[in-house]
Structure 1
Amino acid sequence: MPVQSSSADTAAHAPEGAPADGQQTAVDKALVLLKSLASTEGEIGVSELARRSQLTKSTAFRLLGILQRNDLVERAGSNYRLGSELFTMGERVYGATPVLLREQLLPHLVDLYELTHETVHLAVLRGTDIVYVNKIHGHRAARSPSKIGARLPAYCTGVGKALLAFDHDAAEAAESAGLPARTEYTLADPRRFREELRRIRQDGIAYDRQEAAPGLTCVAVPIMGASGRPVAALSVAGAHHRFEPSRYAPALRRVAFEAARALTAAKGRQAAAPYDVSRPPAA
């Protein structure tokens, strides 16, 4: 049965999509607490957390106790922070594949960084978005909307276009959903977008010339799987005023080729692994 919110608990500035006044359940309130914690640097006391979440202090304290017992929140003295279980859950948001790719391809991402000393990304396609699986950057990293676990529309990113070019259904879905211009350089015209994907299929190289964010340029290539379809994409990104993306295309091609070989070999080893009769089958 829903726990009704008192007027003191009702958010004066409720987040978009929040329940209407009087309809906030205990689960809603717990999620508001977690979001408030997520937007806080470091730790925070219950009084301030209650104020930010527009809850009474007693309600916040009670719900924090429940979250703490489930490792979603940790207590540090009289303050609170997000718990380790959220990290474990977050690792599984997009399934096991991105986690395995990140682990298996990390050495190749490091190789790419050592060759370029620019920001490098590993991303996978999810619907018409890309999800950043890994990222390595140095001291001169350009400002970028990319971060591990973040999603961006595939049509305006280098890694996204590298993947859409070899996925006809996803490319059509992206075009049907619209191609809103994120910057003045975004390929928002469907005809130009389709021509760009055709060129990528031909050359195997994708570019983002300030299409996702002003001042950011990148070059990307797909990592092809044994099926002939890409399983992920790699990119090198830098500040537009000093970064010439085509310079890094040869290094990207080499690393993507080695990454694809490593994935194929790993899959072969997994398929060839003998069944261990001493180990009971998974439940």
Structure 2
Amino acid sequence: MIEIATRPAALGSLERGIELLDCLSSQSRPMSLTQLSRATGLPKTTTHRLLSVLERRGLIRRSEGDYVLVGRRLPCSRRLVLPHLVRLYEATRHTVNLAVLRGFEAHYVERIYGENRVRSRSDGVDRAPLHCTAVGKVLLAFSADLRGAAFGGSLQRMTGRTIVRRDLLDQELKTVRRDGVAYSREEFVDGVVCAAAPLFGPDGEVRMAIGVAAPAAGLPLGKLGGAVRHAADQMALTLLKSR
């Protein structure tokens, strides 16, 4: 999981760090300090300082003296979308999540957050139910088989706002399929709202869900939804170009 400083002075360095991540993600081999400096146009001293920060945060690693994106050990799509996740965090200043389906739960494989991180039941376990989280609703909405298998029984109430009636949840999932964005309105954790959008694979199936979690009294939920949907569109373009 990645924590990013939220002070204004850090914004310039954040953007330069994204440039380095973009550069590494576009290459099939590790790159040296000199190569990265030349490719990005950044001074060597600046490049070295930012690479050290990215390495400490677990985003990159050293390979025989050169640098490689940690995501190269992960599914290609996750590696390619990582820079977009950082941009989404910069745009919203709230916790960004990347989740995949495992069994009947949403598992968080990446989190980017700053000093204003919201606290959640999923902290420390990195997994959450499907029916009451925005990323979970995304995964549910586009899979009829999953909906049938996951909800043969009753739905667990996590807060007073959790949707526990199957017909109401089905109606909401129809809206998710129509709009391409899902919301959780304090349904998993009191005081926390979320918005999420799907990332589709080449076969048309949802592979991941990208979400933003924020305090209920923070940004309007619709703005979070617009930001996360835009990020998902940009990620999809990146994946399409990589094929």
Quote the residue 1:232 is aligned against.
208
Q: Separation in 2 of the partners of 1:151 and 1:101?
A: 20
> Which secondary structure does the structure 1 equivalent of 2:151 belong to?
helix
1:181 to 2:157 alignment:
yes
Deviations 1:52-76 (A, max 9, x none): xxxxxxxxxxxxxxxxxxxxxxxxx
Paired with 1:226 and 1:134, the residues of 2 have a C-alpha distance of 22
Say if 1:225 and 1:264, in contact at 8 Å, map to a contact too. Answer: no
Residue 216 of structure 1 contacts residue 238 of structure 1 at CA under 8 Å; is this kept in 2?
Answer: yes
- Report the alpha carbon displacement of residue 243 of structure 1 after superposing the two structures with TM: 3.6
The reply to whether residue 208 of structure 1 matches residue 180 of structure 2 is no
- 5 Å-filtered alignment, 1:120-135, equals 120-135=96-111
More contact order relative to length (CA 8 Å, sep ≥ 6): 2
Helix, strand or coil for the counterpart of 1:228?
Answer: coil
Q: CA deviation at 1:127?
A: 2.5
Sequence identity percentage: 38
Shift of 1:180: 1.0
CA contact (8 A) 1:98 1:124 kept: no
**Aligned-pair RMSD on alpha carbons?**
2.0
TM-score by length of 2: 0.66
Partner-residue secondary structure (3-state), 1:246: helix
Q: Based on CA coordinates, which of the two structures has the bigger radius of gyration?
A: 1
Q: Is the 8 A contact 1:215 1:239 kept in 2?
A: yes
Structure 1 263/178 Cα, relative in aligned 2: closer, same or farther at 3 Å? farther
**Distance in 1 separating the partners of 2:103 and 2:171:** 21
Structure 2 residues not aligned, in runs of 5+: 1-71
Residue 225 of structure 2 corresponds to residue 249 of structure 1: yes
Matched, 1:115 2:96: no
Q: Which residue of 2 aligns with 1:142?
A: 118
Provide the C-alpha distance between the structure 2 equivalents of 1:98 and 1:193, rounded to a whole number of angstroms. 33
- Per the TM alignment, residue 126 of structure 1 is displaced from its structure 2 partner at its CA by 1.6
Gaps of 5+ in 1: 1-95, 269-283
**Partner Cα distance (1:211, 1:130) in 2:** 15
Residues 1:171 and 2:147 aligned together:
yes
- 1:12-31 to structure 2, matched below 5 A, reads none
Is 1:208–1:219's contact at 8 Å kept on the other side of the alignment?
yes
